[in-house]
Structure 1
Amino acid sequence: MLFFQLTWESFRFAITALKSNITRTILSLLGVTIGIFAIIAVFTLVDSLENNIKSSFSFLGTNVMRVDRFPFSSGPQEYPWWKYFRRPPGSVAEYEFLKERLKSAEAVTISASASTTVQAGSNAYQGMQLTGIEYGYQDVYDMPIEEGRFFLESEINASRNLVVIGREIANTLFPNQPPIGRELKLKGIKFIVIGIFEEEGEGLFDAPSKDEAAIVPYGAFTKMFYTGKNGIEPTIAVQGKEEDIGLVALENEMTGLLRAKRGLKPTEEDNFALNKTEFIQNAIGSIFDVISIAGWVIGGFSILVGGFGIANIMFVSVRERTNIIGIQKSLGAKNYFILFQFLFEAVFLSLIGGITGILIVFGLSFIQLGSLELILSFKNIVLGLGVASIIGVVSGIVPATLAARMDPVEAIRTN
């Protein structure tokens, strides 16, 4: 109990010292404020950019493996580029083959996309991304429906002329009226609207958005567009199981099945690429890791200056209160009681600076930056407070130790 009482007294002495020197306190914490602001501002911007970019690529799905001709990552340097073009695209036959035999997959689908114009009465929307899908597409990719419904399996198998459209298209074609159940035309063919995608809003870098997209059954799509070799190439996508870390089992099984389906001999190389959608997200994460390091460097210099400023002020504070230290020790004050006074003072100085820097970042997060939404995460708040606390301890430990080790007689004699 005595230890906690003395610690509390040290706490009170530190607060009193800070209040008695307001101007010095403010000047001391400026360096830490700027440093914490620089680090947390950079991290907040980096996190917000990374999350926004990754969400812009959400159309690729998560835990998904695609069958493509070209790999997402660069292949062997000696691999002739023209061999990629000679590879056959995926086909409906391969999709059905994988769907029937794959055991390491949650869902399998095939899709093909084209840019086209959609019309409804006198209204038209140009540049819409139209995708033909097979059943299971909604299990591979995130397809939130805001109004209406998704396709039934029987509707996709029968290639019904039904369509699910994005919010932007719905607002353009059917202003001030409910779009569900209404007709629109694709390539001169009538389709009935059965659903509206949940609105996504504007993304960075003009990434594909469901607001400007529509989906129809794959069979209905092939009536309007030629697919396959020398046409629009379909993409086979497979949703892996959560327990399959890195989709290793799925990749091995798909490789064996595709080689068997395409009749490749053991000595022949693969004529397909299995791409994991996480590759793009990991690549984006690697880029922002480098930017985060730059943020540490930029903020680190400011914090270093702030730390030296706090240490300098603490040495001055020890010098000013030498007589008081001598009196306290002569009355029986423990060394840790003296040490905690100055250590708490240094930590409080640093924490106040850190909190001020975080509050500035929080205020700046309300500034509108177009489609980029700045979000100060709890992780970055904890990081800022943690760094500020460490700087306070490091800056105050030496002057606090010197104060605690003073001889009471010599301290009282000091002018």
Structure 2
Amino acid sequence: MAFDTLRQHKLRSFLTILGVVIGTTTVIVIAAFVSGIDSRVSKEIEAFGTNSVYAFKFEPGFNFNPSMEERTRKPLREEDADAIRSECSSCEFVSPFMSPVDFTAGPFTERVNIRNKEIEMTNATVQGAAADYFRMGVSHLREGRYFTSEEEQRRAEVAVIGIDIANTLFPFSNALDQQIQIEGRNYRVIGVLQEREIFLVGSEDPNNENKAVYLPFKTIKQLYPANEDCFIMATAKPGRLNEALEEIRLILRRQRQVPSGKPDNFGVQTSDEIVKQFGAITSGIFILMVAISSVGLLIGGIGVMNVMLVSVTERTKEIGVRKAIGARKADIITQFLIEAVTLTAFGGVLGILLGVGLSLLIQVILPTYIPLWAPFVGFGVSVSIGLVFGLLPAWKAARLDPIDALRHE
């Protein structure tokens, strides 16, 4: 009987559950987006290894508005990385890392044009690192080789390039041993990196390794002599991560002449700490967005309640007849609750399907991943909305006096 009533008022039923559909869709899309971003960032950071340590001139964490004291700190330098490499007994590999950019504006945001004799490519990035950087297992070669420590020391004009640069500048030939030009200087290509899944598909992701050129650190210093700022990456020997973290901190304090008793004027943290910090941020975003999407569910629930109250008024005589032939209060309550739950459950299913579809479409440009729990939570919440907001109309219908109900016109 409850289902017959819903079938008789298809348009009204659909409009009633629209809020539930929108709310459930939003929950699914947000869960997919946040989970996808979290998973991709974790994968990117963990690619550097779980035994990695990073040193920055800024405090650890995702602080997009550093204090004036942080902004005016002296930069980390190549000499700091050299000191860590020679003195940190628990470190296996150490590399400074630099890109021509003002780090107060965000990492790796400056674009450069790269060309050969005939073709020019825009929106590429140039990054400098020591030979140790490639020993950390961060990047993988498709062909060729990485530059050596000897090439770095003599400032060799050699380059390892991303796959997009190789395909753009040398579409019909092998890129190895070819010349590329950056800022008027020529560099010989000695290696091409494997294609790497990028963070934002179709975007101008500044950290896109496929569009990056890697130069020896001393070579990039020649190319951009005014840019002194860098950060330092290190990998600890197996089982010695905490020891490496403390050693690096003490070495940098000495290098930067931090007085005893004064706080560090730099930041050091492990890759695990970065993953945890980013996870806390995405969790906060998820909670906030779910709270916002719950407004749609609340509106949908109120809509269901109002329509069910109208339905009780329209069907007063029907309720009176049912009571007159023996229907109990529990039967009436069950009927109206089934109607309310059916409405919101149907809205939940539509919302889940729409949310999954939108998430798959968004996947073209954003890293989305639909967690297994999201559809179940979406469906469970929609059913709960029906139960909660269907109680008042059901209780009102059950309390009708059968004699008064039969007299109702």
Q: Which moved more, 1:115-124 or 1:51-60?
A: 51-60
Give yes or no for contact 2:127–2:220 (8 Å, CA) kept in 1. no
Equivalent positions of 1:329-340 (< 5 A) are 329=327, 339-340=333-334
Per-residue CA shift, 1:317-374, capped at 9, x if unaligned? 5752433344345xxxx87565434332321122112223333444555667983477
Q: Distance between the aligned counterparts of 1:80 and 1:148, measured in 2?
A: 45
* DSSP-derived class of the 2:89 partner: helix
Name the residue aligned to 1:213: 212
1:203–1:209 CA contact under 8 A, matched in 2: no
The answer to whether the Cα contact below 8 Å between 1:37 and 1:361 also exists between their aligned partners in 2 is: no
State the AA in 2 paired with 1:100.
S
Q: 116-125 vs 46-55, which deviates more?
A: 46-55
Of 10, 20, 24, the residue aligned with 1:36 is 20
Q: Which residue of 2 aligns with 1:24?
A: 9
User: CA-to-partner distance for each residue in 1:230-260, whole Å, 9 max, x for gaps?
Assistant: 544332124689999xx98875554234324
Counterpart in the other structure of 2:385: 391
- 2:172 aligned to 172, 176, 198, which one? 176
Per the TM alignment, residue 388 of structure 1 is displaced from its structure 2 partner at its CA by 1.5
8 A contact 2:96–2:233 mirrored in 1: yes
1:185 to 180, 183, 186: 180
Q: 1:65 to 1:293 in 2, by over 3 A?
A: farther
Question: Judging changes above 3 Å, is the alpha-carbon distance between structure 1 residues 361 and 243 closer, same or farther for their aligned structure 2 residues?
Answer: farther
SS at match of 1:208: coil
**Could you say if the C-alpha distance between residues 224 and 248 of structure 1 is closer, same or farther in structure 2, counting changes exceeding 3 Å?**
closer
Structure 2 match to 1:3: none
| Alpha-carbon distance change, 198 to 338 in structure 1, aligned in 2, over 3 angstroms | same
Identity of aligned residues (%): 20
TM-score, length-normalised on structure 2? 0.70
Whichever residue aligns with residue 77 of structure 2, its letter is P
**Retained in 2: the 8 A contact 1:65–1:274?**
yes
Residue 348 of structure 1 corresponds to 342
Question: Is the 1:36–1:358 contact (alpha carbons within 8 Å) kept by the matching residues of 2?
Answer: no
Find the aligned partners of 1:82 and 1:374 in 2 and give their Cα distance: 34
Aligned to 2:252: 258
CA deviation after TM superposition for structure 1 residue 291, in Å: 4.1
Tell me if 1:67 matches 2:65: no
Q: Which residue of 2 aligns with 1:110?
A: 96
| DSSP 3-state at the match of 2:218 | helix
8 A contact 2:57–2:75 mirrored in 1: yes
Q: Is the 8 A contact 2:125 2:206 kept in 1?
A: no
The aligned residue for residue 148 of structure 2 is 156
- Residues in 1 aligned to 2:294 and 2:127: alpha-carbon distance in whole angstroms: 44
CA distance in 2, matches of 1:318, 1:98: 87
The alpha-carbon distance between structure 1 residues 157 and 97, as it changes in their structure 2 partners (threshold 3 A), is same
Deviates more, 1:368-377 or 1:266-275: 368-377
Mean Cα displacement is larger for which, 182-191 or 235-244? 235-244
Gaps of 5+ in 2: 101-110
CA offsets per residue over residues 165-214 of structure 1, 9 Å max, x none?
223212211113454x4523353232323433335364556433122112
Answer yes or no: is 1:323 the counterpart of 2:308.
no
Distance in 2 between residues matched to 1:242 and 1:389, nearest whole Å: 51
Tell me what 2:353 maps to. 359
Q: 1:301 to 1:111 in 2, by over 3 A?
A: same
Q: Is the partner of 1:143 in helix, strand or coil? A: coil
Shift of 1:124: 3.5
Alignment partners' CA distance in 2, 1:214 and 1:76 = 29
Question: Is this contact kept in 2: 1:361–1:376, CA < 8 A?
Answer: no
1:66, CA displacement in angstroms?
Answer: 2.7
- Helix, strand or coil for the counterpart of 1:226? helix
Would the alpha carbon gap of residues 375 and 136 (structure 1) be closer, same or farther in structure 2, given more than 3 Å must change?
Answer: same
Question: In the alignment, what sits opposite 1:132?
Answer: 128
- For residue 389 of structure 1, report the CA deviation from its aligned partner: 0.3
Q: Which amino acid aligns with 2:99?
A: S
Q: Deviations over 1:56-92 (max 9, x none)?
A: 9789725665322233537996x646741x3553533
Aligned AA (2:63)? S
Q: Is 1:165 equivalent to 2:153 in the alignment? A: no
Distance 2:37 2:137 in 1: 17
Give the corresponding residue for 1:306. Answer: 304
Q: Which amino acid aligns with 2:190?
A: I
The letter for the 2-side match of 1:168 is D
- Contact persistence 2:116–2:179 (CA under 8 A): yes
- Residue of structure 2 equivalent to 1:6: none
Q: Distance in 2 between matches of 1:383 and 1:55?
A: 20
CA 1:75 to 1:398, structure 2 compared with 1: closer, same or farther past 3 Å?
A: closer
Higher mean alpha-carbon deviation, 66-75 vs 386-395, is at 66-75
> Alpha-carbon deviation of 1:393?
0.9
Alpha-carbon separation, structure 1, partners of 2:98 and 2:245 = 22
Task: Please tell me whether the aligned partners of residues 55 and 267 of structure 2 are also in contact (alpha carbons under 8 angstroms).
Answer: yes
Distance 1:281 1:308, change over 3 A: same
Instruction: State yes or no: 1:222 paired with 2:218.
Output: yes
Asked whether the equivalents of residues 323 and 412 of structure 1 are also in contact (C-alpha less than 8 Å), the reply is no
